Amino acid sequence: MTDPSWWYARPGGRGDWTCPPAPDGVRGFHASLDGYAPTPLTELPPLAGELGVGRVYVKDESSRLGLPAFKALGASWAVHRVLAERRRRDGEGAPLTLVTATDGNHGRAVARTARLLGQRARVFVPRGVHPAAASAIAAEGAEVTPVAGPYDEAVRRAAGAARAPGAVLVQDTAWPGYERIPAWIVEGYSTLFAEIDAQLGGPPPSRPDLVAVPVGVGSLAQAAVTHYRSRPAAPGPALLSVEPEAAACVLAGLVRGEPVTVATGETAMAGLNCGTPSSIAWPHLRRGLDAAVAVTDADSARAARDLAALGVSSGPCGAASLAGVRAALTGAGARRRRTALGVGGSSTLVLLSTEGAAANPYGD
């Protein structure tokens, strides 16, 4: 049977590749920040019944360090590393301008971090980002520069602006020659998965059987792979990436066996509207993901409504996780896809809801 175009499962399954873990100290750094608390891991039995599994948990990132998305974890750790390195090299000096491109959440996280630390921020915003999201970035004190093109063009513009004296690029995607700061951002995301381990209980921590991760350039998915594939003594969960049909660059690359750039379209999942995977994420995704799925805006909108009815505030990007597992585990051909993921009636699923409804308003 031919796989549908919106689905890919890696031949051979998981368990044949490992990678080094995230460094120690990241979660301790986050715990030292004002306002830090683990975000909820909420069990939703109605979804377990719908999906035919044992338990479903949603990691609710609708309020993370005072912002409505998980991105503050990566931005705060990366800027901390940037400023610490600068102090070692040059002393305190004048404030830096932290430059980035964003589909919404990362830019606001960089802007908030800059404001709290007495730095400046300049954020390039591509087309398709809701005006309210751009206004929220400006409200953090950042200089917001609109870009008429897609996300990849905004990244190019930001990289150019960061060559100015006193500026540094804090981008959550990597390419050859620009990889250290994106790697710090990925390290920052490790706190999210350490929290999940603690919240599932132990010791040793209980392991989910499947983790669904929304994917833009793939940095959060890289963090998931790093967390779950760096422990060869314990079988890890199946890892499922979820992308919009309008910007499924990781799915396309997995099908071809090499990284590709895709032309992006319009999607309510603005934070996932990325055409090129991060260069440091790609090797992890190629070897560490078990499957990839692409979903429609209608799928994501329905998932957001259903999560809201169950008490979880989720924007279109965050709700993509539920849309993705629905596509994978139900409907025509579901038995084959469930087998590929190793999911059965007693399985435990963790869905990453990466943003709240306030992060990127849509539908108005």
- List residues bridging with 292 in a β-sheet: 8, 241
Question: Cβ neighbours of residue 68 under 8 Å, at least 6 residues apart?
Answer: 62, 105, 315, 355, 356, 357, 358, 359
Query: Looking up tokens 């049909």, which residue turns up?
Result: 245
Q: 106-133: buried (b, 16+ CB within 10 Å) or exposed (e) per residue?
A: bbbbbbbbbeeeebbbbbbbbbbbbeeb
**How far is Cα 364 from Cα 328, in angstroms, rounded to an integer?**
29
Burial 169-184 (b: 16+ CB within 10 A, else e): bbbbbbeeebeebbbb
Task: Please pick, among 3, 24, 34, 71, the residue that the annotation labels catalytic.
Answer: 71
Alpha carbon of 300 to those of 73, 111, 209, 322, 357: distances in Å?
A: 24, 28, 23, 8, 12
Residue 164 in tokens: 């100015």
Tell me whether residue 103 is one of the annotated catalytic residues.
Answer: yes
Q: Cα–chain-centroid distance for residue 1?
A: 32
Calpha distance 114→30 (Å, rounded)? 16
Q: CA–CA separation, 46 vs 50, rounded Å?
A: 6
Tell me which of 24, 59, 60, 103 is the catalytic residue: 103
Indicate which residues carry an active-site annotation. Answer: 71, 103
